[in-house]
Amino acid sequence: MSEIYQGFDETLQRTVALKFIHAGHRLDAAHKQRFLAEARILSRLDHQGICRIHDFIELDDREVLVLEYIEGTTLLTWSEGKPSFRSALEKALQIADALAAAHDQGVIHRDLKPENIMITKQKTIKILDFGLARTESQDTTHSLAALSTSASAAETSHGGKVVGTLMYMSPEQARAEPATPASDVYSLGLTFLHLFTGKKPYEVTSRVDLLEAVLHSHYANLNGLDRDLRRILLAMLHPDPTKRINARTVAMRLAAIMERPKRRVARLAVVLAIVAAMAGGFRHLRAVTQARNQAMEARRDAESLINFLVDDLYTDLQKIGRAEVMHDVLNRAEHYWKDLPSDQQTDNNRAMRARIEGQHATVLEDLGQLDEALARGEHAHKTWTNLTQQYPNELSWQEEHAEVTYRLGVLHLTKGDKPTALSYYQQSIRIAKSLFERDPRFTYQYIRSLVGMGSLYLEENRCQDALDVFTQSESISAKMVKDNPSNTRFIRKWGVDLYSMAIAEFCLGNYMRAAEHYLKVLDNDMLLATLEPDNVQFKVDICYTQTALSEVYLKSGQVELAMKYAGQSGAIASDLAAQDQGNMDLAYLAADADYLQGIGYREMGLEKESKGYFQRVQSRMQKAASEGKLNDALHLYTMSSWALGDTEKARQSARKLIAANWSDPEFLDVAKAMGLLDPIL
Residues 6+ apart with CB under 8 A from 223: 557
Find the angle CA(353)-CA(359)-CA(363) to the nearest 5 degrees.
135
Burial track 244-261 (b if 16+ CB lie within 10 A, e otherwise):
bbbbbbbbbbbebbeebe
Give the integer Cα–Cα distance in Å for 125 and 96: 10
Q: Do 70 and 219 belong together in one domain?
A: yes
CATH number of the domain to which 290 belongs: 1.25.40
Q: Do 276 and 231 belong together in one domain?
A: no
Q: Do 243 and 327 belong together in one domain?
A: no
Give the integer Cα–Cα distance in Å for 521 and 658: 34
Dmax over Cα atoms in the chain, in whole Å? Answer: 107
Give the integer Cα–Cα distance in Å for 395 and 377: 20
Q: Where among 258, 278, 299 does a domain terminate?
A: 258
Pairing of strands 14-21, 53-58: unpaired
Q: Which residues of the chain have pLDDT under 70?
A: 1-3, 21-28, 30-39, 41-42, 44, 46, 131-164, 224, 259-345, 366-367, 441, 624-630, 678-681
Give the integer Cα–Cα distance in Å for 574 and 39: 65
Residue 294, in any domain of the structure: yes
Give the integer Cα–Cα distance in Å for 401 and 67: 60
Using N-to-C axis directions, what is the helix angle for 418-438 and 395-414, rounded to 10°? 160
Give the integer Cα–Cα distance in Å for 577 and 179: 59
Q: Do 182 and 320 belong together in one domain?
A: no
Give the integer Cα–Cα distance in Å for 115 and 127: 9
Any long-range contacts for 345-349 (C-beta under 8 Å, 24+ apart)? Answer: 347/387, 347/390, 347/391, 348/291, 348/294, 349/299
Range of the domain at 303: 261-461
Residue 17, in any domain of the structure: yes
Q: Do 300 and 233 belong together in one domain?
A: no
> Residue 542 region, left (φ>0) first, then alpha (ψ -120 to 50), else beta?
alpha
Q: Do 67 and 137 belong together in one domain?
A: yes
Q: Do 368 and 457 belong together in one domain?
A: yes
Number of H helices, E strands in the chain: 27, 9
Q: Do 347 and 414 belong together in one domain?
A: yes
Residue 514 parent element (H or E): helix 511-531
Q: Do 163 and 282 belong together in one domain?
A: no
Q: Do 182 and 309 belong together in one domain?
A: no
Residue 44, in any domain of the structure: yes
Report yes or no: 363 and 326 within 8 Å, Cβ to Cβ.
Answer: yes
pLDDT at 93: 93
pLDDT at 395: 84
Residue 284, in any domain of the structure: yes
CA 149 to each of CA 1, 154, 650: distance values in angstroms, whole numbers, following the listed order: 6, 10, 58
Q: Where among 258, 276, 305 does a domain terminate?
A: 258
The model's pLDDT over 536-560, given as tens digits with 9 standing for 90+, comes to 888 999 999 999 999 999 988 899 9
Residue 136 parent element (H or E): none
How many domains does the chain divide into?
2
pLDDT at 70: 85
Strand partners, 3: 20
DSSP letter assigned to residue 58: E
Q: Provide the residue type at 650 as one letter.
A: A
CATH number of the domain to which 252 belongs: 1.10.510.10
Q: Do 60 and 163 belong together in one domain?
A: yes
Helix (H, G, I), strand (E, B) or coil at 77: helix
Report yes or no: 498 and 491 within 8 Å, Cβ to Cβ.
Answer: no
Report yes or no: 184 and 192 within 8 Å, Cβ to Cβ.
Answer: no
Residue 591, in any domain of the structure: no
Residue 580, in any domain of the structure: no
Residue 533, in any domain of the structure: no
Going by C-alpha positions, the residue among 577, 524, 514 that lies closest to residue 548 is: 514
Give the integer Cα–Cα distance in Å for 50 and 94: 10
Q: Other CB atoms closer than 10 Å to residue 434's CB: what's the count? A: 14
- Report yes or no on whether pTM surpasses 0.75: no
Q: Do 205 and 91 belong together in one domain?
A: yes
Q: Where among 445, 461, 477 does a domain terminate?
A: 461
Residue 672, in any domain of the structure: no
Give the integer Cα–Cα distance in Å for 133 and 36: 8
pLDDT at 37: 65
